[in-house]
Amino acid sequence: MTTFGVNGRPVELELDPRESLLEVLQDRLHLFGTKKGCDHGHCGACTVHVDGRRIVSCLMPAVQAGGRQVRTIEGVAGPGGELHPLQQAFIDHDALQCGYCTPGQIMSGLCCIAEGHAGDDDEIREYMSGNLCRCGAYPGIVAAVRQAAAAPGV
């Protein structure tokens, strides 16, 4: 049995060593916000946080999550369902079109801000470069990260 936390809740599962964290999140825990894009770690659609660091969950064997804390897009909003400032900024700046990449973009954006890499638009673009948007909403994404980085308490 492997025990780890997901969005602040303990999870204990019998894991197959071949299962990726993405597969476990979707297929076993029914958390569908994390998206499967390329399944090769190139697009960032499956970005989640593990112990506060962003990772592409399609490449991480789920057994490596043992004893760690995983945060998915479902764990970003406040306890009453109020949007996180970055989620609101995505709406404010129309930083989504089809929305498929949005969960991964938000998870990467949160780490970009927490890591101190949201100083200017070029830095945001650099540190968000692992997340692709096929719709081309990049100007809105950069503006959303910039706005959230300036918000108090983020």
Residue 103 confidence class, pLDDT cut points 50, 70, 90: very high
Q: Are strands 2-6 and 69-71 parallel, antiparallel or unpaired?
A: parallel
d(CA 132, CA 152): 28
Closest by CA position to 105, among listed 91, 21, 19:
91
Residues 56 and 118 in one domain: no
Residues 64 and 6 in one domain: yes
Structure-block tokens of residue 82: 């109020």
**153-76-74 Cα angle (round to 5):** 175
**pLDDT tens per residue across span 28-60:** 999 999 999 999 999 999 999 999 999 999 999
Domain extent for 95: 85-150
Residue 17 falls within a domain, yes or no? yes
Residue 62 falls within a domain, yes or no? yes
Choose the final residue of a domain: 22, 42, 75.
75
Residue 79 confidence class, pLDDT cut points 50, 70, 90: confident
Residue 57 falls within a domain, yes or no? yes
Residues 70 and 89 in one domain: no
Number of domains making up the chain: 2
Residues 60 and 97 in one domain: no
According to DSSP H, which parts of 29-137 are helical? 85-92, 102-114, 121-127
Domain of 25, CATH number, reads 3.10.20.30
% of the chain residues with pLDDT over 70: 100
Residues 70 and 100 in one domain: no
Residues 69 and 90 in one domain: no
Residue 104 falls within a domain, yes or no? yes
Tokens 């916000």 found at: 33
Whether 152 has a pLDDT exceeding 90, the answer reads no
**38-43-49 Cα angle (round to 5):** 105
Residue 80 falls within a domain, yes or no? no
Inter-residue contact 68 to 49 (CB < 8 Å): no
Residues 69 and 9 in one domain: yes
So what's the pLDDT on residue 3? Answer: 97
pTM (2 d.p.): 0.94
DSSP 77-104: S-TTSPPPHHHHHHHHTT--SS-SSHHH
**pLDDT tens per residue across span 112-140:** 999 999 999 999 999 999 999 999 999 99
Inter-residue contact 106 to 48 (CB < 8 Å): no
Domain of 122, CATH number, reads 1.10.150.120
Whether 154 has a pLDDT exceeding 80, the answer reads no
